Structure 1
């Protein structure tokens, strides 16, 4: 098997957009050897290069540039009709550490914000996270299908045993807490849903062993060497990663799950594969002020993944999504009969879970006020 057909590129391509030649030169000196790169001196030039070069995986952009500034460039990217471009990881480079600027950039669609004085190790680490973890859904799906069809040289996923994973992940968690860095745990749960049992979570079956092996092998090839992944159940994997932007982990989790669900994994026509990822992070509001163990974080991630699987949801379930689901179950009134063809509350909640933003937006007024802003946040994070 030719591994270069399925592995993510060794040197992902980064586009650097900044009107300062000195800044561009400094960034290139930081990343050359680890990343391929392209340069643009303003937002318009960067936009044209993004349209012309589909091999660009990450954009680093200044906010203040002539012709088109960073905010305008972000707006074009996030509103693009081209899926690969719309979902591209964007890192904003700034000359200050002001929280207001960070919040505005993140609200505009940036995945991360770095300062111009950042050292090489931190910059390369963040770009590594975005370029490797935020792999395109199509790349992951194609790689998964290739691994599932290959029967020549690997008979299992090659992942470490669960005990080894828990030791390594515990060390990673402890170091993250001591260093005041983030730590994210992903629980990838996979199920085989039969068409006639789609609404009964207890009847979800276990996918074929070849499918589970293929998923494990691709996860092993995709994550960074500093991350840890293992198969921790008959139909689940755990992935532990530190020093990572939470939104990047969430995007990766969603794309992994959609790739698994989209891939042709030869389930024998007995049903469809569904996948959901429970995400637990030290950045969760409920975990920020307490001492937490790996076992407790595993329980949280498993609970969230189980919530998604029970509802047949393909994607990622984090803190906000879990709260939204709890609010839907406990705080909402019974669905009222629809009028003039408008969807009822129950239907709107189902559409939110499915990421059907365009259908939900015209009817957000039907949700209770206390859930409206949360629903908007969930939909913003639900683009596959």
Structure 2
């Protein structure tokens, strides 16, 4: 048992109520190795002495040092392993003022003590994955990039007017939108990507082996997908839009993950100031007209095969040119290995793909290796 527990991610629970600590621990102990402390000061000392803690869950009202004070110490620490820790503030009441203050001080997430077990575990797991990704990138970033044969890019995804939605329709509606976006992201990202909750209505997607063009194309598809969702609350119809900021380590291998997140977040702010419902990168707003050519054309071959097998050939036919483009590097490789004389030039001509297109596809194929985003 001890060996199994030691392999689980360690979560520090800081709360002055023994019953609350016991309840939280009971809910999550099958997934996490739990350490408990009774106040903020004890929690702070635990963090200084225990480098294995990956996530902090803290109450607000506590003796000696409250949750806000503990959060300030964590974010102000000179130790990078401490100041970058994900902190989940947990409160007995759903108070907007407390939530706003926690976010201002740098809380990663905020939930109430009545949050269902499934959601609580999902949020902690997302924070653990964020902490592990940060540590891996910071400790051996060059090896990670080399292993993934490409860049590391970050998207910060923000629900437009999230606070206003919560004020007008209640925080339960805001949380529902938050969960819908979380499920949508989980369904569309690649298996090697990391999704992290940064705040209510805000997520980060950390993507190895993905450049800004690819991120921009994915962000545009994500924005279109969320626009199709219409929620009904009483007599109101609620439409949701996203502003997405992009940042990439391309050209500057010294950029840390924290710096990439800050850059992407600053571009979300730029997009919000321009009215929201935008995708913004270092070059300005990303649109279908200026996103990279390869990203515009690339398609999911798995999706195309599923359409064909299910009898929806017309849908695949509509994107036949893009399918040929995406498959061309693979077919060139097959032809070079088996020397069967595939009529690639004739196929490219039929699909109206230029030599420049083929050069771009071949040069980029080794980076992607069949791992296109879904959707």
Query: Could you say which TM-score interval applies, normalised by the shorter chain?
Result: 0.3 to 0.5
Larger Rg: 2
Q: Give the structure-1-normalised TM-score.
A: 0.47
- Write 1 or 2 for the structure with the bigger share of helix: 2
Q: Which has the higher contact order (CA 8 A, sep 6+)?
A: 1
Q: Report the TM-score, using the length of structure 2 for normalisation.
A: 0.47
